[in-house]
Amino acid sequence: MKPHHLCALASLAAALAFAVPAAHASEAQDASAGAKLVKQHGCFTCHAMQGTKIGPGFADIAAKFAAQGEDKAEKVLETDVHDGVKGTAMPANASFSKAELDQIVDWILSLKK
């Protein structure tokens, strides 16, 4: 291998090393934005962090969905928050953007570690 190829490999490795912590940082940022949205939108009227209030605790939701894998869990929970859960007290929140739904659900799922 010629020296300039090694050089390209080294910079690729450096780029990858930076990409990983950056992804984590943005998930953490999403989660803290999500926590704010949940506080602002009165979700705690019905949900505690743990244990059933009117709805299930957020940490309990995270635990229940942990086994389903992140992609599936995100899809189901975003739909639940956006559309509500018919026949229950869980109201629809149709005004949330996709980004806000992501943030809220990232926060909920971050409660299970």
- Interacting residues with ligand HEC (CB under 6 A): 38, 41-43, 45-47, 54-56, 61, 64, 77, 80-81, 85, 88-91, 93, 104, 108
For the bound state, the minimum distance from the C-beta of residue 45 to ligand HEC, rounded and expressed in Å, comes to 5
CA–CA separation, 102 vs 110, rounded Å? Answer: 12
Residue 50 vs 88, nearer CB to ligand HEC? 88
Question: In the complex with ligand HEC, which residue's Cβ is closer, 38 or 111?
Answer: 38
Q: Is 113 helix (H, G, I), strand (E, B) or coil?
A: coil
Exposed/middle/buried for 58, CB within 10 Å: 0-12, 13-18, 19+? buried
Question: CB of 52: closest distance to ligand HEC in angstroms?
Answer: 9
CB of 26 to ligand HEC, least distance (A): 20
Residue 13, judged by CB atoms within 10 A of its CB (0-12, 13-18, 19+), counts as exposed
